[in-house]
Amino acid sequence: MSGSVYGNSFIVSTWGESHGEGIGVVIDGCPAGLPISEDVIQVYLDRRKPGRTEYATPRKEDDRLQILSGVFEGRTTGTPISMVIYNENHRPYDYSEISKYYRPGHADYTYDQKYGFRDYRGGGRSSGRETGGRVAAGAVAATILKELGITVYAYTKSIGPISIDYQKCQKEYTYQSPVNMPDLEASAKAEAYILKQREEHNSVGGIIECIVSGMPAGIGQPVFDKLDAALTKAVMSIGAVKGVEIGDGFAVATKTGYENNDSFFCDSENRITKLSNHAGGILGGISDGTEIILRAAVKPTASIARPQRTVNKNNENIEIEIQGRHDPIIVPRAVVVVESMVAITLVDYLFQGMTSRMDRIKEFYKR
Amino acid sequence: MSGSVYGNSFIVSTWGESHGEGIGVVIDGCPAGLPISEDVIQVYLDRRKPGRTEYATPRKEDDRLQILSGVFEGRTTGTPISMVIYNENHRPYDYSEISKYYRPGHADYTYDQKYGFRDYRGGGRSSGRETGGRVAAGAVAATILKELGITVYAYTKSIGPISIDYQKCQKEYTYQSPVNMPDLEASAKAEAYILKQREEHNSVGGIIECIVSGMPAGIGQPVFDKLDAALTKAVMSIGAVKGVEIGDGFAVATKTGYENNDSFFCDSENRITKLSNHAGGILGGISDGTEIILRAAVKPTASIARPQRTVNKNNENIEIEIQGRHDPIIVPRAVVVVESMVAITLVDYLFQGMTSRMDRIKEFYKR
Amino acid sequence: MSGSVYGNSFIVSTWGESHGEGIGVVIDGCPAGLPISEDVIQVYLDRRKPGRTEYATPRKEDDRLQILSGVFEGRTTGTPISMVIYNENHRPYDYSEISKYYRPGHADYTYDQKYGFRDYRGGGRSSGRETGGRVAAGAVAATILKELGITVYAYTKSIGPISIDYQKCQKEYTYQSPVNMPDLEASAKAEAYILKQREEHNSVGGIIECIVSGMPAGIGQPVFDKLDAALTKAVMSIGAVKGVEIGDGFAVATKTGYENNDSFFCDSENRITKLSNHAGGILGGISDGTEIILRAAVKPTASIARPQRTVNKNNENIEIEIQGRHDPIIVPRAVVVVESMVAITLVDYLFQGMTSRMDRIKEFYKR
Amino acid sequence: MSGSVYGNSFIVSTWGESHGEGIGVVIDGCPAGLPISEDVIQVYLDRRKPGRTEYATPRKEDDRLQILSGVFEGRTTGTPISMVIYNENHRPYDYSEISKYYRPGHADYTYDQKYGFRDYRGGGRSSGRETGGRVAAGAVAATILKELGITVYAYTKSIGPISIDYQKCQKEYTYQSPVNMPDLEASAKAEAYILKQREEHNSVGGIIECIVSGMPAGIGQPVFDKLDAALTKAVMSIGAVKGVEIGDGFAVATKTGYENNDSFFCDSENRITKLSNHAGGILGGISDGTEIILRAAVKPTASIARPQRTVNKNNENIEIEIQGRHDPIIVPRAVVVVESMVAITLVDYLFQGMTSRMDRIKEFYKR
């Protein structure tokens, strides 16, 4: 619980600051024999790159990932996989201004309270850049899931007041849309909305939705480590996320039991499924074999160019105007981070799930 | 991650089934010298007891807690505290019916998928009765927090369409209201709504809100173990919870950065606070010294007396009608469970928070 | 790391004091479907019972174990198994004397230093009685191992200067010998030696040896969690153990590489084995499929009836004579505790070992 | 428990193979404000460098450590410290020979059994080179301990049949002796013995002793996580270690209680200490404030130039002669690794020890 280590069987340990030497991740517990390459992981990293559209932060990063250990002749060896992305871009930008006061909506104040001082350059460890390590690990996790027939797919569901229309959605649109919406009409409207807010030196929030397909039934844990609880923590740990829900989520509060219960049904191929999926694929903390559905609320970017009140390190009440150009929205870049955290968590649970039954353990060790 | 063990420094391990010998909890890592007694813990347990109002489940339980270890001469010894509540009420009720099919909205199917078979008596381990162990541990955690000047207070915010009006709320009303609402007008309306739904063999959901006061700034962890992420998992692990949010939560999705940022402010006594609290007391995963605000969406009770479609163990599509009397709402009984999970999590984080700074560690060990 | 919780996949949490209400254990992570009963576990508990021979402590304990959860219709359900042994014997013995000073060789002083005070009745949590919970969990672990064809067998190798002669050993003798020696001649000599020391108000130590047969190759972890490291910690955590070695252990310090290396050999049935086993069945932290061999040095009982110098709670140097009758040797009763700790650790490693290879994970989830 | 992550509060995660890109370590949980630099850590790393004497392996490594994160303006920030040592020396050495058979005394066979294949270049992850990451983390841990007035000091106690004479020992000799013996006479004899064995294409073992001074009383945990158990595991996890003992260790097996008990004694300055230290500074798993004493038996190097029997990957019984030059002894290089593992473990326990008592927690949070 020291913050930067995650997981029990598939253990992910990230490190790095926004303007330090680089960022990286060590994965311990990845099984041996998984085909993996820097190129496959790079595809995931490129999805969280800034600068895809005109409104995004202009920081030019190549973010070239290097694998330093744990892979031999193209396959994982079962020992720790260390991956690093060097910061190409740590130019002598002047952060002395930021060092003197606490930016609203940022972790400057709380880091100072916890640690006594802070690496103020670009937010240090609390920068969104930290998620690079998560995504590199997420790419490895997604590769494992793919081998098991499981896919994790996230997209932007809404930005400010603009929501997607499921009737108009296609998965491939997600990667064409600069805001990662699977509905291109909504995407265009959302872009216009973002630009308008940016002109007003403001920023916007939104909602990310994530769907897991191909999940076997019976994965999860009762009580404290319910699968939904773990997924929720995983996603809530992403910087700007303020709320997470599973299945119908907050909507259940105004529903009745009759409306909310999902009836089980045995189909013509003798497979048990459900007639609806209000539960979002998890019952009693354990997967039921249907789609897992999760949504996360992402707050608007805290860095805005408008004047704001705050306090400086001498405890004086001041007004500040944050310099530099900043993304007016976090949502699109966070989509692949949500996918990554979900994938990492599922791998951990699938691994733990192998020891639930004595008969299957016996069979495993007989061979 | 085997499900029933929680925490890192303050470790809570619960056990027990609905209709087994009893339920219980072992706490390892409780500091020595804390005054504790069965009576203090019993007060918390009584808050989750059924049967307080006419609509609640008629199961008569005394739920008398016994402390079996870890307390000597009225104070904790620092060694494991084992607590047990024997099931007084395991009469020869006939659960053979339930054993044959999968109840919609319950964990029957997923337990069978995970474990190969299940203790079907009253839901076994997946029963809400499991939370007794959590609440006993929560009472100990709350006692620790009290010593540190921290209080955790939860209440019913809404039931179905009926919400509290903050203008009319008083904390003491919470304990007078049979549905744990701090607004007695809303409480009366909610009771009427519940009774109406019960008459229709239906059930209702709602929202619980939880406020933490007196929290010091600087408690939490960056990255994966953010304090908000941990609290979210803690609350999401309660059986019927389907969504959790911190501060403004899902509302941030449609807000702008200017609206959502909380300005820091130094008051006349030279204390730094914030002019608003959209963040809910946590920034970058670390407490900022203001109130922590959390909300949980609770689904309607899955057990309803209406006919429902489902599948039996022979994979036949059938229609069932669940027998027995059941609570038409989970929300009020879950209030103290939310408080417990939040309290346990905060204690764990406060303990871990003692090692953040070298200067304070040196000071601690100098004496 | 709060002391009384052990394991990662098969998690054992013990509780209880020597003269409190009882002792117990909760196992979380035991797979479902394992046949288990109170009677099977009782057999293990009876092996650590005092009072089998004339020299042992006369405390009469029935030590009847009760299973309170996690077992349904004779099989484990996969949820926590809670087991309790009530203290039948907590008579109003006067421990007020012991409460006032620090017994040499005991944990009285260090508990006071750590916790500020202590449950002084019979040593409280630091009493050997604590191992009851370990043995109950060990019995469950041994049952799992049996299903996998693995046996853990420990015995007394030496007591004071008397060692067993391997030529004269038979496994069944171990359970006939009151000191658990598989060589009955040595056993008789050891008994005489113990009695002589007891007459002189003294106590004796010895060595326990443990052999694991049927262990598959490939179980363990590299680096920090080497299988030998884990087994060593497991056994070193037993109260009176002061040293642990694997294979040839300390003897390797004076050997050459040529003497110490074990040559691999492929037998007529095409199985790879070794021509010798100086390594004790583990190479690089991972089992090699041959017998695992481990030895533990057990110190003489600290409680002796001779006058000894010590300090009281007023920091005065005093001379004390500990009252009551005490076992003059711990070794024989610790044999089953060693077996238990080894069995628990092996189960944990076997479970973790299921995720080492991607091909086998895929195969597991295909079915 | 996936092998390469260690610790609970001070979490050390190492990575890297003998002939991959490099080796490294990430420390999570290091408190903020600790002065640290690459130079300080380099001093520790240089102590495990090969090539100090004529008999050691000729691999020339600069082993220059770089800090990539977690340090800002010369002090730790409280966030993960990532450190890397690039492998300068991965020349195109031909390991194809080694890839085809299992070297006696090495982990080739067990890695193949666990992972299905292995990185055979120089032993891959099982190489002693892996300890570089441990020593870098150990240097940080030792810096923390120094701030708390605690020192960890290890040295070579014996090599083959040659042991140090405590009468002739001085701490500074340890760093003059090429074999890290604090007795220079014994050191010279040991060197001669090593050279003689090397001439015979053989290798030798020995014993390392480690003394911890300045340890406060009351640090440790009861039951499974006893301080001695944790230290034992820490040291046993070093590749070539086959046995570990605390205090008098295996010698207690032939001693009586009267001989083995340490009497407490209050000195003229009113401090409680002991008249002897057979226990090695730990009672009931908790430090008693006297010196902690630990010894480890280190096996002779497995790589020897003599012909040896073994099995190849076609399961054929063959005779091999391992090429290349190898250290004929591991002991001297392992001394700083023992120090590192002990230091890391003590830091973890000191941090956990801060939450043992409620009164001290209250005092901590009052300020």
Nearest to C75, CA basis, from C140, C22, C11 = C140
Question: Distance between CA atoms of B310 and A265, rounded to whole angstroms?
Answer: 6
CB contacts, 8 Å: C79 with chain A: 222
The per-residue pLDDT for C1 is 57
Name the residue facing A116 among D22, D32, D68 (closest C-beta). Answer: D32
Biggest alpha carbon–alpha carbon distance for chain A: 72
What ipTM was predicted for this assembly?
0.96
pLDDT at residue C163 above 60?
yes
The per-residue pLDDT for C53 is 56
The per-residue pLDDT for B325 is 74
The per-residue pLDDT for C93 is 64
pLDDT at residue C367 above 90?
no
What's the average pLDDT block by block, 10 residues per block, for chain B (367 residues)?
A: 89 95 97 97 90 54 88 97 87 74 95 94 91 98 98 98 98 96 98 96 97 98 97 97 98 97 95 97 98 98 94 94 86 98 98 97 90
Residues whose CB is less than 8 angstroms from the CB of residue B5 and which lie 6 or more positions away in sequence, other chains included: A224, B11, B12, B13, C5, C11, C13, C28
* Cα distances (angstroms) measured from residue B173 to each of B56, B193, B340: 19, 19, 20
Residue with structure tokens 């030529």? C167
> C269 touching D, CB under 8 A?
no
Question: Distance between CA atoms of B17 and B4, rounded to whole angstroms?
Answer: 12
Nearest to D38, CA basis, from D140, D148, D175, D142 = D140
CB contact under 8 A, C288 and D110: yes
> Using alpha carbons only, how large is chain A's radius of gyration in Å?
22
Determine the distance in angstroms separating the CA of B231 from the nearest CA of chain D, rounded to an integer.
Answer: 20
Q: What is the DSSP string of D285-320?
A: TEE-SS-EEEEEEEPPPS--SSEEEEEBTTS-EEEE
User: Could you read off the pLDDT of D88-139 as tens digits, one per residue?
Assistant: 865 556 677 788 999 999 999 999 999 999 999 888 999 999 999 999 999 9
**C349-367: average pLDDT:** 95
Question: Distance between CA atoms of B139 and B339, rounded to whole angstroms?
Answer: 9
The per-residue pLDDT for A90 is 55
The per-residue pLDDT for D325 is 74
CB contacts, 8 Å: B131 with chain A: none
> A95 touching D, CB under 8 A?
no
> C350 touching A, CB under 8 A?
yes
> B117 touching A, CB under 8 A?
no
Query: Which chain D residue shows the shortest CA-CA distance from B7?
Result: D8
Amino acid at D38: E
Measured in whole angstroms, the distance separating CA D6 from the mean position of its chain's CA atoms is: 13
- Reported as type and span, the H/E element at residue A134 is helix A131-147
Name the residue facing C222 among A33, A34, A79 (closest C-beta). Answer: A79
- Token pair for C60: 């009469």
Amino acid at A7: G
Name the residue facing C262 among D105, D249, D265 (closest C-beta). Answer: D105
Q: How confident is the model at residue D53 (pLDDT cuts 50, 70, 90)?
A: low
> A3 touching D, CB under 8 A?
yes
- Token pair for C354: 């299921």
CB contact under 8 A, C72 and B28: no
> B264 touching C, CB under 8 A?
no
Amino acid at D281: G
> D277 touching C, CB under 8 A?
no
Average pLDDT, chain C: 93
Q: C141 — alpha (psi -120 to 50), left (phi > 0) or beta?
A: alpha
> C75 touching B, CB under 8 A?
yes
Report H helices in chain C. Answer: 38-47, 108-115, 131-147, 173-176, 184-199, 227-236, 257-260, 331-352, 358-366
- Domain CATH number, residue A322: 3.60.150.10
Nearest to C107, CA basis, from C137, C86, C130 = C130
> D351 touching B, CB under 8 A?
yes
User: Could you read off the pLDDT of A169-212 as tens digits, one per residue?
Assistant: 999 999 999 999 999 999 999 999 999 999 999 999 999 999 99
Nearest to D109, CA basis, from C32, B104, C341, C287 = C287
Q: How confident is the model at residue A89 (pLDDT cuts 50, 70, 90)?
A: low
Q: What is the DSSP string of B311-357?
A: EBTTS-EEEEE--S---SB-HHHHHHHHHHHHHHHHHHHHHHGGGSB
User: Could you read off the pLDDT of A191-201 as tens digits, one per residue?
Assistant: 999 999 999 99
The per-residue pLDDT for B49 is 79
- Reported as type and span, the H/E element at residue B41 is helix B38-47
> D176 touching C, CB under 8 A?
no
Q: Is there a binding annotation on residue A276? A: no
* Cα distances (angstroms) measured from residue B279 to each of A115, A126, D191: 20, 16, 66
Q: Is there a binding annotation on residue C301? A: yes
Name the residue facing C2 among B9, B16, B117 (closest C-beta). Answer: B9
> B53 touching D, CB under 8 A?
no
pLDDT at residue C313 above 80?
yes
pTM: 0.96
Name the residue facing A264 among B222, B260, B310 (closest C-beta). Answer: B310
According to DSSP, the β-strands at B22-28 and B11-16 are antiparallel
User: Could you read off the pLDDT of C135-158 as tens digits, one per residue?
Assistant: 999 999 999 999 999 999 999 999
The per-residue pLDDT for C30 is 98
Which of D125, D134, D224 to probe by mutation at the C interface, max C CB count within 10 Å? D224
Q: Is there a binding annotation on residue A303? A: yes
CB contact under 8 A, C361 and A354: yes
CB contacts, 8 Å: A72 with chain D: 17, 20, 117-119, 124
CB contacts, 8 Å: B288 with chain A: 109-110, 113
> B181 touching A, CB under 8 A?
no
> D307 touching C, CB under 8 A?
no
The per-residue pLDDT for D153 is 98
CB contacts, 8 Å: B108 with chain C: none
> B268 touching A, CB under 8 A?
no
CB contact under 8 A, D147 and B362: yes
Q: Which domain holds residue B304?
A: 5-366
CB contacts, 8 Å: A354 with chain C: 351, 354-355, 361, 364
CB contact under 8 A, D31 and B358: yes
What percent of chain D clears pLDDT 70, i.e. is strictly above it? Answer: 95
- Token pair for C255: 């050997």
User: Could you read off the pLDDT of C234-257 as tens digits, one per residue?
Assistant: 999 999 999 999 999 999 999 999
Q: Which of residues 185-224 of C touch A (CB under 8 A)?
A: 216, 222
Question: Distance between CA atoms of D334 and D327, rounded to whole angstroms?
Answer: 12
Question: Distance between CA atoms of B42 and C305, rounded to whole angstroms?
Answer: 45
Question: Distance between CA atoms of A34 and A147, rounded to whole angstroms?
Answer: 9
What percent of chain A clears pLDDT 90, i.e. is strictly above it? Answer: 87
Give the 3-state secondary structure of residue C211.
strand
Question: Distance between CA atoms of B149 and C315, rounded to whole angstroms?
Answer: 36
Give the 3-state secondary structure of residue A213.
strand
CB contact under 8 A, C216 and A365: yes
pLDDT at residue A283 above 80?
yes
Q: How confident is the model at residue D15 (pLDDT cuts 50, 70, 90)?
A: very high
**D307-327: average pLDDT:** 90
> C249 touching D, CB under 8 A?
yes
User: Could you read off the pLDDT of A220-261 as tens digits, one per residue?
Assistant: 999 999 999 999 999 999 999 999 999 999 999 999 999 999
DSSP symbol at C116? S
SS (H, E, C) B235-266: HHCCCCEEEEEECCHHHHHHCEHHHHCCCEEE
Q: What is the DSSP string of B70-99?
A: SEETTEE-SS-EEEEEE-TT------TTGG
Cβ neighbours of A137 (radius 10 Å): 30
- Token pair for B266: 């130094």
Q: Which chains touch B (3+ CB pairs under 8 A)?
A: A, C, D
Question: Distance between CA atoms of A151 and A214, rounded to whole angstroms?
Answer: 7
Determine the distance in angstroms separating the CA of C130 from the nearest CA of chain B, rounded to an integer.
Answer: 11
Determine the distance in angstroms separating the CA of A362 from the nearest CA of chain C, rounded to an integer.
Answer: 6
The count of domains in chain B is: 1
Query: Which chain A residue shows the shortest CA-CA distance from C360?
Result: A364
User: Could you read off the pLDDT of C316-340 as tens digits, one per residue?
Assistant: 999 998 877 789 999 999 999 999 9
Name the residue facing C356 among A8, A78, A361 (closest C-beta). Answer: A78
Terminal Cα distance for chain D, rounded: 37
- Token pair for D208: 């390392």
Nearest to C247, CA basis, from C265, C234, C260 = C260
- Token pair for D237: 């996890």
The per-residue pLDDT for A49 is 79
Q: Contact, D364 vs C17, CB < 8 A?
A: no
Q: Is there a binding annotation on residue B284? A: yes
What percent of chain C clears pLDDT 90, i.e. is strictly above it? Answer: 87
Nearest to C3, CA basis, from D284, A173, A204, A356 = D284
